Structure 1
Amino acid sequence: MKKKKFLGTILLLFSFSAFSFIVFIVQPDRLYLHGVIFEVRVINGFKNNSSLPLVIWCSSKESDLGGRALQEHDDFSWKVTTKLWKSNQFSCTVKWDAKRKSFDAFKVPRDFYRCGNFKKCSWLVTEDGFYFSPDEINWKKDFQW
């Protein structure tokens, strides 16, 4: 069972005349913190695909980021500012040779804490799958082609 991190704000209201206090706990992830900026990056991690680039196309319900052809070690990156009235989800379709895969590159409920303190959400696409990292040092395989 995964433990959910709790990062909340505790507000204390004191009443000196009654010698009592009230504690309010606010969970920012419930509101998806309006206005938080995330950086999303997809990197071509193939070892030898110089003759055939990795093609990627990303979009959300509100915007189309377009497509790119990524050579070895090239990347495609963008910033997402969370908004209460928008979907806050970006999906990408990646194609290499006969392989094609669609995935959610950014999704607030899943990535709010996963992208770390610096709000960096990086993906490394390799021959054997898709790896995620909040720091581009420690990569964890999320899924295969």
Structure 2
Amino acid sequence: MSLINRISSFLLIIAMFLLVLGEAMATVTETTDKINFGLGPKVLVDISNKLPNGTSFTFHCKSKNDDLGTHVVEPGQKYGFRFRVNFFGTTLFFCGAKWQGGHVVFDIYKASRDDMYRCPYHCRWEARGDAIVGYMEHYPNPDIVIPWNK
């Protein structure tokens, strides 16, 4: 077999492998119909309404590829979504939140911060009267505090 035939066969095998791998990695997120390429388990991100005086807040999250829409989170309720971290570990979801006491934009999930150590399976957040707070998985006290902008 000539060298050109060997190289062609090798490239064909590589292309088929990448095609099969790509199909195995394709998963549909639970929040949209778009395809999200990732290998690991789904991550749950949620935010609970712990605001004072039975106040609701408005919440809108996006990533580079997905707009999760605007949601009103009623007192005592929570909003959440699931996804897989992309193959390159660059997944980022950012959100805007507002209520009568202020507004804020923040990264609710950032793979470089959250994927391996902080919250690889469940990122829990709360909207409180003084701030949006985030919790490291399995820890009772918040590790991220983002004060409301007035």
Higher helix share: 2
Contact 1:91 1:102 in 2 (8 A): yes
2: distance between equivalents of 1:133 and 1:107?
14
1:49 maps to 2:54: yes
- Once the two structures are TM-superposed, the CA of residue 131 in structure 1 deviates from its matched residue by 1.4
Contact 2:118 2:137 in 1 (8 A): no
Structure 2: which 5+ residue stretches go unaligned?
1-37
2: distance between equivalents of 1:89 and 1:38?
12
- Once the two structures are TM-superposed, the CA of residue 58 in structure 1 deviates from its matched residue by 0.6
The CA deviation string for residues 9-51 of structure 1, in whole angstroms up to 9 with x for no partner, is xxxxxxxxxxxxxxxxxxxxxxxx843321000111112134x
User: CA distance change for structure 1 residues 139 and 131 in 2, over 3 Å: closer, same or farther?
Assistant: farther
Aligned partner of 1:46: which letter? L
Give the TM-score normalised by structure 2: 0.65
- Equivalent in the alignment of 1:133: 135
Give the TM-score normalised by structure 1: 0.67
2: distance between equivalents of 1:136 and 1:43?
16
**SS of 1:48 mapped into structure 2:** helix
- Once the two structures are aligned, what percentage of the paired residues are identical? 24
2: distance between equivalents of 1:85 and 1:131?
27
- Once the two structures are TM-superposed, the CA of residue 85 in structure 1 deviates from its matched residue by 5.1
- Equivalent in the alignment of 1:124: 126
- Equivalent in the alignment of 1:35: 40
RMSD over aligned Cα, in angstroms?
2.2
- Once the two structures are TM-superposed, the CA of residue 132 in structure 1 deviates from its matched residue by 1.3
2: distance between equivalents of 1:73 and 1:136?
21
Aligned partner of 1:35: which letter? G
1: distance between equivalents of 2:60 and 2:94?
8
Structure 1: which 5+ residue stretches go unaligned?
1-32
